[in-house]
A and B are shown apart, each in its own frame.
Chain A
Amino acid sequence: MRAALPQEEQTVLRVEDLRVQFKVAEGTLRAVDGVSFTLQHGKTLGVVGESGSGKTVSALSILRLLETPPAEIKSGRMLFGGRDILKLSGPEISEVRGREIAMIFQEPMTSLNPVKRVGVQVSEPLVRHLGLSPREARARSIQLFELVGIQAPAETIDRYPHELSGGMRQRVMIAMAIACEPKVLIADEPTTALDVTIQAQILDLIVGLQEKFGTAILLITHDLAVIAETAHRVAVMYAGRIVELADVKTIFEAPRHPYTQGLLRSIPQIVRNRPATLNEIPGMVPNLARLGGGCSFAGRCERVVDRCRLEAPPLEVIRPGHDVACWRANDV
């Protein structure tokens, strides 16, 4: 039974039952196995998960950026502006990309074209979607650079990516993404490759832009602390499914899924009385090509019972605004 979706303030994007598979040597890899969520105007949904959780594949699916020979979107709907993104044609989706929904990636060095000046790269969406002339686009790019906090914007415009630091490159990516003031911004691990002090600057920038433009943000990360600071709602993903979905306070203060609980307990904290050992989650993420029928966390769960191994629990509402996929969610 599909979990009831939270009260829609202004739902900008609705993803329903997304399933993405990959053809690999061993068989079929179920990277995303029935994922549903919504994005709200002016709010950030943080998606947290580790390797193999399916968070990046989900994000790339929204803009249909997956390479479709190995990947295949098996089913699902992605409703945006009254249309299903998955049913759009090639030219139609390219109208949406960069204009209504934009994306920034983890590695700013490899995500920028090394042989083109950054100003040109930022101008491209302006010319393509808003029909600006090259000169107008250039002026607007300088403004965008200022907006994202790049020093000496008029000079930086003509630089190549390799001449800029990691933090500046990420700012360029952000400028490129917000150029057309999109309704949705997908940020895939935007600060993972950056130093801690720069990370703080970039997160601050992203949050500030959301306040200014009301952008709905989908923030993907493996770093729970980043989520704590920037997300309003959080989806915890494991082995291709959302296992818990709630507002950020609930996730950190009263999580119900054993994986979420385990994850929170295993992170070292800066506290005066440090524990002798960190809480571990034993074992490893399962092989996504050989997922059985039961709960994919069963092998590592401390509260596992027989039912877990036979039947995978659906994502269900346990309290308004709090969905958990666990047979024992209500056992305290």
Chain B
Amino acid sequence: MLKFILRRVLQSIPLVIGVSIIAFGLMHLAPGGPLAVYTLNPTIQAQDIERIKVALGLDQPFHIQYLRWAAGMFSGTWGNTFFGGRPVLDVILERVPATLILMGSALSIAILLGTAIGMLGAVKRYSLFDYLATTGALFALSFPTFWFGLMAIYVFAVRLRWLPSGGMYDLGNEGDPIDLLIHLVLPTLVLALVLVATWSRYARSSFLEVIHQDYIRTARAKGLVERDVLMKHAFPNALVPLIALFGLQLPTLFSGALVTETIFGWPGMGRLFVDSLTMKEYPVLMGMMMFTALFVIVGNLLADIGVALADPRVRLE
């Protein structure tokens, strides 16, 4: 087991390096290059740009630049923002908690509710419940998130005035957990809607495949009650692909939900990304790209390990 984990970790390292090279290269390929903010600005003179270039080490050959940047990444110096000159790492990290709260809530609801709905749909295939769940999932997946978000704001915030229309806290109430919860309701529900739909489809298909297997018939033949057949035999097997799915969705806990956060004005990573894009804030974008890449790789790793823990056949290799 340990060897398995070690092997996967070692396999990840070249992956991280590869992603970083691509990220770095992309930034240089962007129109105007890393100094686009300055070069595309007609008021700045050429020799000033040259001076900035030398100061930032941008006159060095590509691989030297890369190595210096990589070394910086490693040691925690992720550069400074163009606007404001703040350390990029700080800017990113201060957005993380907001994202974690929103995504964490949505994902938890999605997994629990989605798996339950999927499981029930599979066990009672073609029943009214299954039909409704399938149609509902299709509906939720067909309409764009921003539409749901705007509808939710219109109905609950504008018309009914039950819930606030955006933001994490009301002004002056920062840190109040009740206020946070009230602000959390709408964005979480909107986000969870799509996630539940996805999870319920995956769960249903995984369960369906499992309950037609021979070993489920054996479990019944042994006289186990139906509940035990489902929970002790079907569930652990159906869970395996779902664990893999969870690992793959883990990075979203940190990368956030772009559309939802923008609609609801939620100060998370998704918002940061959209804002940085608009402002061409490359250092932040690069930093976020690496951040996300790292979490995707970690998420995959956890997914692999999780599957190996759940399914003993995988450990064979």
Contacts and interface: CB of A to CB of B under 8 A. Distances in A.
Interface of A: 63, 65, 67, 69, 90-91, 94-99, 102-103, 105, 107, 110-116, 124-125, 128-129, 160, 162, 173, 176
Interface stretch (B75-83, B192-200, B305-313): B305-313
B197 to A, nearest CB: 26
Given A105-B217, A112-B218, A128 B313 contact: no
B221 A90 contact: no
Given A111-B214, A113-B215, A113-B219, A94 B237 contact: no
A179 to B, nearest CB: 8
A124 B215 CA distance: 13
B220 interface: yes
Interface stretch (B86-94, B96-104, B145-153, B223-231): B223-231
B223 A114 contact: no
A62 to B, nearest CB: 10
Contacts of A173: 218
B217 A114 contact: no
Given A63-B220, A176-B218, A176-B222, 8 more contacts: A98-B221, A110-B213, A111-B218, A114-B237, A114-B313, A115-B310, A124-B224, A128-B228
B144 interface: no
Contacts of B220: 63, 65, 94, 97
A134 to B, nearest CB: 13
Nearest to B215: A113
B223 A125 contact: yes
A63 B221 contact: yes
Interface residues of B, number: 25
Given A115-B237, A162-B316, A102 B215 contact: no
A63 B217 CA distance: 10
Interface in B102-129: 126
The secondary structure that dominates the A interface is mixed
Contacts of B237: 113-115
B236 interface: yes
Contacts of B240: 115
B224 A115 contact: no
Given A114-B311, A162-B313, A99 B215 contact: no
Contacts of B219: 113, 124
21 contacts: A65-B220, A65-B221, A67-B212, A90-B226, A94-B220, A94-B224, A95-B223, A99-B223, A102-B221, A110-B215, A114-B215, A114-B237, A115-B236, A115-B310, A115-B313, A116-B233, A116-B236, A124-B222, A125-B222, A128-B222, A160-B313
Contacts of A160: 312-313
Given A98-B222, A98-B223, A115-B310, A110 B214 contact: yes
Contact of A113 (B221, B228, B233): B233
Contacts of B233: 113, 116
B154 to A, nearest CB: 44
Contacts of B313: 114-115, 160, 162
